[in-house]
Structure 1
Amino acid sequence: MSGVVRTLSRCLLPAEATRERSDSKERSRDRDAHQQERDARRRSREIDSRLSQERRSIRRLVRILLLGAGESGKSTFLKQMRIIHGKEFNQKALLEFRDTIFENIIKGMRVLVDAREKLGIPWQNTENEKHGMFVMAFENKAGLTVEPSTFQHYVPALRALWQDSGILEAYGRRNEFQLGESVKYFLDNLDRIGELNYLPSRQDILLARKATKGIVEHDFVIKKIPFKMVDVGGQRSQRQKWFQCFDGITSILFMVSSSEYDQVLMEDRRTNRLVESMNIFETIVNNKLFSNVSIILFLNKMDLLVQKVKEVSIKKHFADFQGDPHKLEDVQAYLVQCFNKKRRNRSKPLFHHFTTAIDTENIRFVFLAVKNTILQKNLEDIML
């Protein structure tokens, strides 16, 4: 009997072993499935956490858009933000600014030489006609740098021309043609800039003029709050790019060159520059997209306005001006009034500041006030 049992047991063992192996595999598959499910839930929680952090980060991000007509000072303001928040310019950037400055000087003098002739102003020294022809022959192909050794060839001619009363008289009538505002500063510093080992100072960088094409951004953090400042070209040809930057805007800093009340646009040579700024401001400030966006007006280039008010009557160009056209306070009040009238909804005060973008301390002080205004308005989102 026992032999039969043993024989049966030997016959049954493979079947039981197969079942055990099958059960073991099934348990293993269950464990793997449970582990995969746990891993999937963990990954899902991690993704949700990251998305939540990104949403909080996006809500906390203070996104400031710089808008305004060409040459209103937006790029200079952005340079100041870099300087104030400790992001120094590297060697490559300094060399690029040096090239821009060389071009600013030579092209600026070309404009003055051409204007002197068109305005019928005689040379003080007829020998300077040769220098004028030499500078007018300057040609720099796009993308090529002007080496210091090349620029040095032009320095004697530039120096002689800048001392000629004919060129100085043309400069005095610069509102009749298009001339960069920094040309005088650079020509006054020609000896320093003309040295072979010249590298631009901070002030040189702030005054270097190169039209912004496309979109330039600068990120910085103040008291753990992230800021993104966006500069978009202000020339008419660049303004279609503004719409690309309108999403998620916290605030708009609208820049105006307050001293340009006697100047016309480079683009059409007929439209008054200040009128153009007012028209752009009217479009922006009344746009429904910005109903919950703080718009702060920067009446820039105060240093130039202070000087111009003494020399040029604003009433010649804006007949409705009331007050003393040579009194700075009256002109400032009129400018604020002009822009304020462009707002359809004037139930809230117009936040505005008179600024000098090339003055680091002025911009440091003004931006502190602006930052507090922006943060107060957006405190709920920022604290989340």
Structure 2
Amino acid sequence: MVFNYDASDPLAVITAAPPSETPEQKAAREEREAESRRISNQIDEELRLHKADLKKHEQMVKILLLGQSESGKSTTLKNFRMQFAAENWAKERASWRTVIQLNLVRSVNAILDAVKHPDADDGSKIPLTEKHQLLAIRLSPLRRVEEDLKRLLGAAANPVEVAVPSSPTRTVSPRPSAEFYVRSWEWQSFVEASQNRSENSHPRTRHEGANSIDISEIIARCSEDIRELWEDDIIQDMVKRRGLRLEDSATFFLNASERIAARDYHPGDDDVLRARLLCRNIVPLSWTSNLASDGKTLTWKLYDVGGSRTQRQAWLPYFEQVTAIIFLAPISCFDERLAEDPRVNRLEDSFILWKAICSSQLLKSTTMIIFLNKIDLLAKKIANGVMVRQFLPSYADRPNETKAVVKYLKTKFRDTARNYSPEPRTCHIYATTVVDTHETAQILVSVRDGIMREHLKKATLM
């Protein structure tokens, strides 16, 4: 039996058609061969796409900012913007004026609420005078200003009722007013458009409601009274005795009230870093950098995914293909409770969150970084005589000193990562005060370089 085939093709003898092949057999064979080619081509295409996808992800770094509400995630994101997206940061800085004004006005109104009820928690009377009542009257326009500022930002009320626990060793005072939030991280465009309408319209034709020019004018007229209220010794004593829980940045803005209330006020970097505005949406940041090794461009994507308990359910979809997680644990809150659940100590909540993150199989190869944040506030509390072991029994008889507390917490978080991670990995821990721009800039450069090294190492292994 003789087979006809191309002798130059070493596989032709295998693929050659049998000499006695019938037309039906030939058709069936050709159909099988066509199906084999289709499958082969499909496999080749899938391999090509997979290789392209791997190559794409090799050139992209995805970072998540995680942690409870008020842990400093938004401030860290702003630091990243300042450090690695400076051009966009400069453009958006002016839009933060409205947020900063709102932070100042909310703090003043919180104090005025306390003036209305001059009773200390111990039942004693706080000796307010006619001067304080007069200041409250003169500052009453700020009630309307607060609502107008919220409307300018597109903010929505988010009432949070916080009970004051009866235990003397685990206390936290309630916030003086409901938390608020904006519906979209694009609120800056909304503010800028509103400001343009205000500046380009005649005063007589301006619509009723929020107006940035009128708001700034009212705040400017109240500037002296705000300063007098805040600098009053009786008011300072009342804030302390009532345990009035203002925002962390309230003291900064109240001390700078004359500058912020000026009609020509323009926010500085420190002002924007301390400005608080809760956003219910995921807040992204992107920038690019060049790889010195081969001249290729590396794309960085950073996400602040929110920290309140109602937002944590949105974290999971972002865990896929994460290069690194920066977890913020506010260690100054060892004596505070969650606004969402006053039964839970805030530091304990950070421990629980960190354990869950370390245990996730989806994150087993992810670089883990912890910022033990707000060490400046921790130092102030310790200097004021607050005993850490009273709120954190496991601290035992260790020295009630900032360095000792930070060292203990570093060990506790590192041990959790070692004991609960699915695979062995290094955990990078930094003690931070993210409102300190100079110190944080140095840390972020170190973090970026470390993430890049880990990313390139994994990309090489792939």
So what's the TM-score if we normalise by structure 2?
A: 0.67
- CA distance in 2 between counterparts of 1:91 and 1:354 reads 28
Unaligned runs of 5+ in 1: 1-44
Q: CA deviation at 1:135?
A: 4.3
State the number of aligned residues: 339
The structure with the larger Rg is 1
Q: Per the alignment, do residues 150 and 67 of structure 1 end up closer, same or farther by CA in structure 2, a change over 3 Å counting?
A: same
Do structure 1's residue 178 and structure 2's residue 245 form an aligned pair? yes
Aligned residue for 1:126? 130
- CA distance in 2 between counterparts of 1:245 and 1:74 reads 16
Q: CA deviation at 1:341?
A: 4.4
Percent identity between matched residues is 27
8 A Cα contact 2:355 2:420, kept in partner:
no
CA-to-partner distance for each residue in 1:276-299, whole Å, 9 max, x for gaps?
Answer: 111111111111111111111110
8 A Cα contact 1:323 1:330, kept in partner:
no
Q: Per the alignment, do residues 211 and 170 of structure 1 end up closer, same or farther by CA in structure 2, a change over 3 Å counting?
A: farther
Q: Secondary structure at the match of 2:221?
A: helix
Q: Per the alignment, do residues 321 and 49 of structure 1 end up closer, same or farther by CA in structure 2, a change over 3 Å counting?
A: closer
- Aligned 1:354-365 pairs, distance under 5 A: 354-365=431-442
- CA distance in 1 between counterparts of 2:375 and 2:289 reads 27
Q: Secondary structure at the match of 2:335?
A: coil
Do structure 1's residue 283 and structure 2's residue 282 form an aligned pair? no
- CA distance in 1 between counterparts of 2:426 and 2:89 reads 41
Q: Secondary structure at the match of 1:198?
A: coil
Aligned residue for 1:334? 408
8 A Cα contact 2:332 2:377, kept in partner:
yes
What is the aligned counterpart of 2:334 among 261, 266, 285? Answer: 261
CA-to-partner distance for each residue in 1:93-138, whole Å, 9 max, x for gaps?
Answer: 3343111111111111222333463535524543112323554660
Q: CA deviation at 1:83?
A: 0.8
Q: Secondary structure at the match of 1:103?
A: helix
Aligned residue for 1:300? 373
Do structure 1's residue 250 and structure 2's residue 249 form an aligned pair? no
CA-to-partner distance for each residue in 1:197-221, whole Å, 9 max, x for gaps?
Answer: 1010011000111113211111122
Q: Secondary structure at the match of 2:271?
A: helix
User: Cα RMSD between the aligned structures?
Assistant: 2.9
Unaligned runs of 5+ in 2: 1-43, 153-209, 292-297
The answer to which of 176-185 and 89-98 deviates more is: 89-98
- CA distance in 2 between counterparts of 1:203 and 1:315 reads 33
Q: Secondary structure at the match of 1:351?
A: strand
Aligned residue for 1:370? 447
- CA distance in 2 between counterparts of 1:337 and 1:91 reads 39
Q: Secondary structure at the match of 1:378?
A: helix
The answer to which of 282-291 and 362-371 deviates more is: 362-371
Aligned residue for 1:158? 226
Aligned residue for 2:95? 96
Q: Secondary structure at the match of 1:171?
A: helix
- Aligned 1:341-352 pairs, distance under 5 A: 341-343=415-417, 344-345=419-420, 348-352=425-429
- CA distance in 1 between counterparts of 2:290 and 2:343 reads 46
Residue type of the alignment partner of 2:227: R
Do structure 1's residue 149 and structure 2's residue 236 form an aligned pair? no
Q: CA deviation at 1:173?
A: 5.1
Q: Per the alignment, do residues 91 and 364 of structure 1 end up closer, same or farther by CA in structure 2, a change over 3 Å counting?
A: closer
Q: Secondary structure at the match of 2:130?
A: coil
Q: CA deviation at 1:51?
A: 8.4
Aligned residue for 1:212? 279
8 A Cα contact 1:219 1:227, kept in partner:
yes
